[in-house]
Amino acid sequence: MSPPGLSYSKRWIESAICKGEAMSKKKHGADVWERNEIESPCINICVVHPQSRLCTGCGRSIDEIRDWSAMDAEERSDIIALLPERMNAIPKRRGGRAARLKR
């Protein structure tokens, strides 16, 4: 336990570290991270293309991104199956500043 002079935040951090060590000892935390659902196709490049209105990172529409966590596994699977075709339909960038500098 923490000495009585530690502030609340330091005690909280110390407590969190102890809990983290306990979890890592329990099957290296594998049971905490295992999930039986479809992963999100998000790759953290969240930019919506102005013409296609699709995310240039994952290919989903804004409505699909918004509703993703409320969808069931079948709806998510159906959308994921459409993403490769959608990604090919999104107009590609021409190179931005780097391409202009090469001219």
What distance in Å separates the CA atoms of residue 2 and residue 8, rounded to the nearest whole number? 10
Q: Residues 29, 19: contact at Cβ < 8 Å?
A: no
pTM score above 0.75: no
Query: In the 8-state DSSP scheme, what is residue 86?
Result: H
- pLDDT, tens digit, 9 for 90 and up, residues 47-64: 999 888 999 999 999 999
Q: What is the mean pLDDT of each run of 10 residues along the chain (103 residues)?
A: 51 53 48 65 90 92 94 93 92 74 75
The number of CA neighbours under 13 Å toward the Cβ of 20 is: 6
